[in-house]
Chains A and B, each alone.
Chain A
C-alpha cells in the first residue's frame, strides 16, 4: 500500500468540532452569497433568514427548503447567479430533466477551491508527481474531464487529456507514455481491457497501477473485477456537476468508503419521501450544501442519489465522514455510459415528432461492456405517406434530435402501430436489460 500523504493535512484531519465551527462560518458566507439572488432571497426570508446573522448554528440550515434540479431549470440561465457576471470565469451546463438545461457558474476562486478538493482526492489515493494520468473522461461541459484534469496538474501528475473514446488510441497512449493512473467509467474500463489483445498489447507492457472510477454507480464486485483484470488498485469517485463535479467524495488508499470533503459541503441524508433527516448508516437521498462557492451557491441540493454516510475512524487519519457506494436513484434518471439521461428528455423529443404514434419504449442493453440505448417508436398511421425515404428521414431526425438533447448517440427503431407493449395504468417506458455493474 502507498504511504499515507495529505494535500491539506489541516483540513483533512481537523477534529469534528473544529470542522463544525468552520462549516458554520462558511455556511454564513454562503447564505450571504445566496441572498444576492432573488430565488434564494425569497426562500430564505420566508424561512426567517434575512441576513447571514440569522444563521447562528448549523441546525438553522434545516429551516431552508431543499433546492431541486427543477429549481435550477426554472432559474436558467441567470436566476441563481450570485456573483458579478464579470467575476465568472467558467460556465458548465448540463441537461435538465427536459429540454431546459441547468447551469453552474464559477469564479476563479470557485475553480480554485474545486481544484484543491480534487488535488486532495488524488493525493489520498497515493498518487503524486511521477504518475502519468490518462484522463479518459469526456472533456467539455461534462465536468468529469476538466475537474480531474486541473486537480491532477496541481498535484503535479503528468496529465494526458485524451478524453473519452477511441480505444486504440487510448491503449497506444497507455503504452507509449507509461500511464500509471486512469480516470475512467467502469464500463469503459472493462471495454478497454477486451481490446488489449486486439491491439497486440500485453499487460506487461503497461505501467498501470491505479484507476479512478466514477460517473457510473458500480458494485464492489465490479471494482474487484477491474482490479483483478488489470492488476491495479481501483478507487471510487463521486461528484455531480451541481456540486462542481468530481472531487466531492473520494476513496483513500484504504478503499473503505469515499471521504466526503465536509469543509466544502454540508452533507445530509434524507428520507426521499418525507424530507426528514436520517442518521448515519441509514440509507437515503444525499443532499449537499456548497460551502466554498461564490458564483452559484446551492443550499440543500437534492442529488436524487441514494446512499448512506458513516463516521468512524479511517486508518488514513482523515476525519470527514464517508459516503457509501451509490445504490440507486430516487428519481427515474438513467446513467448510460456515464451520461445522465432522463426519460422525460427522450419523451419530449419523441412526442413532438408528428410521424410518431403515442407509444414508445426505451431499452438499455449491453454491447460487450458498453451501454447501448435504443429508442423504439411506433409509426403514426395517419402520417405515413408510403415512402421509404420518409421513414429513413424520420429515423434520422429522431436520432439527431435525441443526440442534441441527451448527448449520447441512441439507436432508433421504427415499429408498427400497436406493436409495442401497452400497459394498464402507468406505462413502463424503460426496459433496462443491463446486468448490474
Chain B
C-alpha cells in the first residue's frame, strides 16, 4: 500500500518552507501535497518519491510526522468517473477521513488518494473499488508516475 507523509505544522509563515527546504536537501521529490487545516495548526500531507527517506529527514529535524497508508485509485479523466468512485463509498456506507485528487495525465488519467479511519476500512474499500473496475496504484506506480 502506498504511503503519504503526514506532518504536524503550526499555521504561521515559513513553516511550509522549512519542510520544502528539508526535502530539497534530502533530494526527495514531492509529487503531490495537500493541507488539512485546523486553524492555528494543520497537517501537511505529501506524496513523495521516497517516503521513508523523506520522513526520516523531517524527523531528524524534530518534525512530528508519520507515514500513513493511503488508497490511491486511478480514475480515467472523464466526466462522471469520480462520481462513480464516491458512489461506491456511499453505497457501502464507508466514511473517509480525508481525500484529495490530482491529474496524472490530462484527459487520460487522474488519481484520488484516500485516507481511512483504520486498515480494515482501507482493505475493504480497496476490494470494492477493484470489483467496480477501478485500478488501484501500488507504491512505485504512485511514487514514480
Contact = CB atoms under 8 A, between A and B. Distances in A.
B77 interface: no
A419 B10 contact: yes
B65 A384 contact: yes
Given A381-B59, A416-B8, A386 B66 contact: yes
A416 B42 CA distance: 11
A413 B62 contact: no
Interface residues of B, number: 21
A415 interface: yes
B100 interface: no
Nearest to B40: A413
B41 A391 contact: yes
B57 to A, nearest CB: 13
A39 B95 CA distance: 60
A386 B41 contact: no
Contacts, number: 54
A385 interface: yes
A414 B15 CA distance: 14
Contacts of A86: none
Contacts of A389: 97
Nearest to A379: B64
Nearest to A389: B97
B87 interface: no
A416 B66 contact: no
A386 B43 contact: yes
B8 A379 contact: yes
A414 B43 CA distance: 12
Interface of A: 379-381, 384-389, 391-392, 413-419
26 contacts: A379-B8, A381-B64, A384-B64, A385-B66, A386-B43, A387-B6, A388-B38, A388-B98, A391-B8, A391-B41, A391-B43, A413-B41, A414-B8, A414-B10, A414-B40, A414-B41, A415-B41, A416-B8, A416-B9, A416-B15, A416-B62, A416-B63, A417-B62, A417-B63, A417-B64, A419-B10
